[in-house]
Chains A and B, each alone.
Chain A
Amino acid sequence: MILKTTNLKKEVLSGNSPLVILDDINFELEEGKSLAIVGPSGSGKSTLLGLLAGLDTATSGEIYLNGNALHDMDEEKRARVRKDNVAFVFQSFELLPGLTALENVMLPSELKHSLDAKKTATEYLKRVGLNDRLDHYPRQLSGGEQQRVAIARAFACEAKLLFADEPTGNLDPKTGEKVSDLLFEVNAETSNALIVVTHDLELASKCDEQIDLNEGKTV
């Protein structure tokens, strides 16, 4: 079991009254499996992803990520869990503009004090078809290429669980399809678990499992 949630709830204050964003979320994900979280805008998809990845804290409930009780941890401990277990692909790529494609992909390895950061990064960039773009800065790359760099960076984390937040949301359908194919291909090679938040039902259909969210609840 790579991920398990129990009675997960997220509540925020809207003005003076509490607003429930997520309520009673329960699911489990096996290692190597993929899960799609779908639902209309405002249904709580991104909030759920934030909680599952340990980027945010729940109001109540439990989250176990690779056996780590995220709900009992402070930010420093969660950061350590993220470093060892989690990788991300964002809708808006979130590359560091001042770093080249290679340097962006080197980041996770650097954080793990790996001596092979450059070698690993080069290999993953090659794997996503960007071996001729290593020294390009994000602004010199197209949207599709930037997302491929982001995918390479995510796999360079060599994490057990990959989170992808609307990975094709900023791309045209053709590029989007290529990027999603690549994501699933590389994921299959690494036998990682994958959680995808998406509006795209075709992308969701590629996953092993699916959670439908509506107004913060599973349907």
Chain B
Amino acid sequence: MMALLLSFKLFWRELKSGQLNMMLLALILAITSVSGISLFTDRLEKALQLQTAEFLGGDIKFESNEELSREDIVRIEELDLNLTKMVLFASVVASETEMQFSSIKVVDNSYPLVGEITLEPSSKNQQPDKGNVWLDRRLLDLLKSDLGDTIAIGDADFTISNVVLSEPDRGSNNYAFAPKAIIGISDLSQTNIIQPGSRVRYSYLFTGIEENLKSLNELFEKIKEPGDRITLVNDNEGSLGRAVERSGNFFLLGSLLAVLMSALTIGISSQKFSRRHISYVAILRSLGMSSVNLKLLYSYIFLWLSMFSLFLGLSAGWIIQNAFTNILKSYFPTELPAPGLEPLYVSCITVLLCLIGFVYPHITKLIQTSPLSILRRDQDSSLKKYYLYPVTALSSMFALLMVYTGQLILSSVLFLGIISASVLGIAIIMLMFGKRTQEGLGASSSFKLAWSELNRRKVSNSVQVLAFMTAIGMSLIAYTARTDLMLTWESSVPNDSPNNFAINIAKDELKPIEEFMTGSGIEVKDFYPITSAKVKRLSPPDSEEDLLIDRSFNMTWTLNLPDNNLIKEGVWFDESNKKGLSISDEIAERYNLKVGDNVTVVVQNDEVDTFIQSTRTIDWESFSPNFFVIGHPELFTNSPATYITSFYIPEEKTKIISEFIAQFRTVSVLSIDEIIKQVTEIIDQVSKALEVILGLTILSASFLAISTLQDGFNLRLHQAAILRTLGASNKLLQRSILLEFSFLGLLSGFLAALLAQGGIYFIETKVFEVAAQFHFDLWLLGPAAGLIFVGVSSFILISSITKKSPKEILFES
């Protein structure tokens, strides 16, 4: 009880006197950045997820050529989820004067589950009234109709009541890019379009609580038939899934880097605290206070400190994330969801780990202070060799990595990366300054003084270099990771990427289409034959029977390796390598197909015996035609196929599409302008978030670097005062400090570049899963940042020291 009261008294007095300011500020800043980032990223991720859900139309989508059975519906209803069912098919829509092959979407009364459909003229209706149809602008133009006109779909007539401007689930269905009509489910039967054998796609979308969605996914996995497809909101397939996953990884990385730097900052602050408390402990011990009571006393002080800083830090974190989310709010179509409790837990665990790893060892050391210290003003006598700090600091650093990444390999690699760069840094310093080459302080010139200081302060300089290295290196990692992400995204949506696909092209239409396009000034990409094929493996390793792979693949045949495709194994077709197949590496992996395996390709009724000649890595994020299976053209000369091509039509030439469709009536043109626009918008929003997180990481880094510098300068304050008393000029001190710290900054920057290059290599290859690059800019930015930031900051600090009179420092210390 005595320790509790005394601890509170001490804590409060220290707080009032301002003695605890540095420590408190460090803790508050650490908690602020941790809670700010985690609260903000939590909300942002939820918002992104919501938006992605909106893009998909729900959290889970199940597509099938068959309706779900009554029995399955009953099982799904038990899961208490929101459900909407859509029926999608292609049909001819006829106006009084025109006919157009279109995509028909039939929606039920629950549509849409997520987001809103926007209409012109605006309406609160989310489904068309009975007898009404909604068309997209393109179909309206193609049919040469107006609002209020009547059109026919199958046997039923509909009145065009509205134009669809945007629909939330536009990225979700197979016919999304064709001219579109939306009707209500109650009108479907009257159209008489769906007959046995009709090509219809049923799409079921669900939202609900995570646990039930998980059960639903498991259920679908069980009942899934060939041709059925399950899409989850965070599925890796597609640009958006990847974008969300990668941005999630970046947020995590940003918080992690900020936490690590905050932890080191706390370590430095607590070291200062314990240095200052040596005389307190010595006095208390000399007055007979037991070690247990001392431990209790300091534990309580840190308990008050933690609670106080948690309160202030969490409040500041909340304010910061609120400010950030307010800035970004306008970019999200929906209200940003409230954060969960997780950021709070993460902040508390972080504080605990920081205290155990970075404060506890200093306090343990402090408590071991000998009472003799008050008799001999000799603090160094209590600074015995102490190994607890590195052990607890490293362990808690690893624990923090695990808490934030949840991945053993990622944590281990980051941890070992930091350790290796640190060992290298220490080795360089020891090699350069291991042997003292001059006697005395070298105070006769600023260069000699700087060199002598570098020699004499090897150990403390190593610590500073490591802290600067971490601060600069982590900022570089965050900066490069952000740039990487942005470049990957931007390159996936290049400005002149094809925004239209033409499908269902007959062989004899190839030439006329090419002529039409060339005449209109549109560049046409390659024409690919396209067909649906099944692959049968001959003599599989563990079965005597041939194995038919249970799905159809989009297949083409061409001699040219398409853009965004890379050969992974085997060789692409050439004169000496013919008559084979090239398959995507995903298929190869999923169906255990290897280069050299004999297979039969079944195209409609034809069977072609061939072999796997190569596997390819395909960039599915590119907006160009991609194929799972590509065959050598000689093998498929007689196989039936239609053709697909893609082309870029600038906004001002969109009318060409209508003319094209009018001329080539059997060809379907799919515009992906909307999807590109939506993806670009999301990328823009995420990149703003990335910048904020990069900013916070750099702020934590600056705080770590500044507190390291301040700590170093506190130790130099006394020396500077003595030298000035003996007549050293301010210029001598300023120049020598500038030289010394510029060197340390340069070295730290070089090591930081090394650390960042290694870290980025790992992040690129293992986290973002993109091709690793050598980043030249790191090797310029790192040393430059070190030189400028450390050099300039040290100059500012030494100038503030030299402004104080030496009497103030020496006589009042």
Contacts and interface: CB of A to CB of B under 8 A. Distances in A.
Given A96-B722, A98-B456, A139-B380, A82 B727 contact: yes
A118 B439 contact: yes
Interface string A65-106: 000000000011001111110101010101011110011001
B444 A111 contact: yes
A55 B725 contact: yes
Given A56-B807, A56-B808, A111 B727 contact: yes
A50 B380 contact: no
A44 to B, nearest CB: 12
A35 interface: no
Contacts of B807: 50, 55-56
A43 B724 CA distance: 26
Nearest to B456: A98
A108 B727 contact: yes
16 contacts: A53-B725, A55-B725, A55-B805, A56-B805, A76-B731, A79-B729, A79-B730, A80-B729, A86-B727, A88-B726, A94-B725, A96-B718, A96-B719, A111-B727, A118-B439, A139-B378
A180 B457 CA distance: 35
A37 interface: no
A110 B443 contact: yes
A110 B441 contact: yes
A119 B378 CA distance: 29
A107 interface: yes
Interface string B770-809: 0000000000000000000000000000000010011110
User: Which of A75, A84, A102 has most chain B Cβ within 10 Å?
Assistant: A75
A139 B726 contact: no
Given A55-B806, A111-B443, A113-B444, A94 B722 contact: yes
Interface string A168-205: 00000000000000000000000000000000000000
B42 to A, nearest CB: 48
B439 A103 contact: yes
A80 B727 contact: yes
Interface of A: 46, 50, 53, 55-57, 75-76, 79-84, 86, 88, 90, 92, 94, 96-99, 102-103, 106-108, 110-113, 117-118, 139, 157, 165
Contact of B441 (A76, A94, A103, A118): A103
Interface in B684-735: 718-719, 722-732
A50 B731 CA distance: 22
Nearest to B729: A79
Interface string B214-231: 000000000000000000
A55 B807 CA distance: 5
B54 to A, nearest CB: 62
Q: Which 8 A-B residue pairs are closest in the complex by CB-CB distance?
A: A83-B727, A50-B807, A55-B807, A110-B443, A82-B727, A56-B807, A106-B440, A113-B444
Contacts of A92: 377
Contact of A79 (B441, B442, B443, B728): B728
A94 B810 contact: yes
B381 interface: yes
Given A107-B722, A112-B727, A165-B811, 11 more contacts: A46-B811, A56-B807, A82-B725, A82-B726, A94-B725, A98-B456, A108-B727, A110-B440, A110-B444, A111-B723, A113-B444
A103 B439 CA distance: 7
Contacts of A90: 810
A92 B729 CA distance: 23
Interface string B340-377: 00000000000000000000000000000000000001
Interface string B435-473: 000011111110000000000110000000000000000
A60 B595 CA distance: 95
A106 B452 CA distance: 14
A118 B440 contact: yes
Contacts of B381: 139
Contacts of A110: 440-444
Interface string B283-301: 0000000000000000000
Interface in B724-758: 724-732
Contacts of A165: 811
User: Which of B456, B727, B730 has most chain A Cβ within 10 Å?
Assistant: B727
A76 B730 contact: yes
B805 A99 contact: no
A171 to B, nearest CB: 13
Nearest to B808: A56
B805 A108 contact: no
B375 to A, nearest CB: 10
B439 A102 contact: yes
Nearest to A51: B807
Interface in B262-321: none
A163 B681 CA distance: 74
Nearest to A156: B726
Given A79-B724, A82-B727, A139-B381, A107 B441 contact: yes
A79 B727 contact: yes
B439 to A, nearest CB: 6
Contacts of B806: 55
Contact of B727 (A57, A84, A117): A84
Contacts of B441: 96, 99, 103, 106-107, 110
Contacts of B808: 56
Contacts of A82: 724-727
Contacts of A103: 439-441
A97 B377 CA distance: 12
B805 A75 contact: yes
Interface string B602-621: 00000000000000000000
Contacts of A94: 718, 722, 725, 810
B246 to A, nearest CB: 50
User: Which of A80, A86, A90, A94 has most chain B Cβ within 10 Å?
Assistant: A94
